[in-house]
Amino acid sequence: MIGPMSAGFLLAPSILSADFAHLGAAIREAEEGGADWIHVDVMDGHYVPNLSFGPVIVEACRRVTDLPLDVHLMVERPSTMLQDFAKAGADILTVHPEVDTHLHRTLDAIHDLGLRAGVALNPGTPAIAVHEILPMVDLVMVMSVNPGYSGQEFIPTVLDKMRTIHDWIEQRGLKTRIEADGGITAETAPLAAEAGAEIFVAATSVFRHPEGIKAGLEALRQSLQRQ
């Protein structure tokens, strides 16, 4: 379990671009490089065109790190899988309202399992989709690519959506935090930070950085310190 979310920027490298033959080593290196969370992209081949992994990989990650596991469920009917991911050791479960008919109930179910709850919005989903449930979510993940793959280009039009949600959070005095996911690099992270994001997911720019995982994290951190 994680405590209250600390202030400041958090880096959440996504293992989607890690070397799966050496996943434990990649996670350890990310941890040594100062990762705050480990982001795990779960894809079912239905909601998104790609297939990735399920609870057994979350459980494997849990065995090699104590960092919070930030599990992004890109699956149809996420409510049917919450218990399995909780049991596997997830700390945060984020679901897409586009595939969850009863979002309020799902968020309650995540909290009842003792986990943090997030809501992820695709680039084509308007901010209003989270307006009602904002007080009950720990994070809003604003997707800056269409979900399904790592290595895509950042979509800058989502910055306005981040600003809108950030304003709602401020106006209502909430503790909800904004997470940016997709195409995050040392160039785009500061743009998202300026629009209100505090948590940064990055697969390619960390796990495929030409100078290694630690250098990728360092580049992101430095770009955010110039904020």
Residues that bind ligand DX5 (CB under 6 A): 14, 16-17, 39, 41, 72, 145, 147-148, 150-152, 181-184, 201-205
Least separation in angstroms between residue 171's CB and Zn ion is 27
Calpha distance 92→37 (Å, rounded):
10
Amino acid occupying residue 117? A
Cβ atoms of 42 and 73 within 8 Å: the answer is yes
- CA neighbor of 17 nearest in space, from 186, 204, 200: 204
Least separation in angstroms between residue 61's CB and ligand DX5 is 14
Least separation in angstroms between residue 149's CB and Zn ion is 10
- Composition of the chain by helix, strand, coil, percent to 5: 40, 20, 40
Cβ atoms of 42 and 69 within 8 Å: the answer is no
Cβ atoms of 80 and 51 within 8 Å: the answer is no
Q: H/E element holding 71?
A: strand 69-74
Site for Zn ion in 182-221 (CB under 5 A): none
Catalytic residues: 41, 181
Calpha distance 4→7 (Å, rounded):
9
Q: Judged by CB, which is closer to ligand DX5: 19, or 132?
A: 19
Calpha distance 100→44 (Å, rounded):
14
Least separation in angstroms between residue 154's CB and ligand DX5 is 8
- Of the CA atoms within 13 Å of residue 143, those in its CB half-sphere come to 25
Q: Judged by CB, which is closer to ligand DX5: 110, or 201?
A: 201
Site for Zn ion in 73-132 (CB under 5 A): none
Residue nearest to Zn ion (CB): 72
**What binding mask, one character per residue, do residues 28-47 give for Zn ion by CB under 5 A, x or -?**
-------------x------
Q: Judged by CB, which is closer to ligand DX5: 37, or 165?
A: 37
**What binding mask, one character per residue, do residues 43-72 give for Zn ion by CB under 5 A, x or -?**
-----------------------------x
Q: Judged by CB, which is closer to ligand DX5: 36, or 41?
A: 41
Residues that bind Zn ion (CB under 5 A): 41, 72, 181
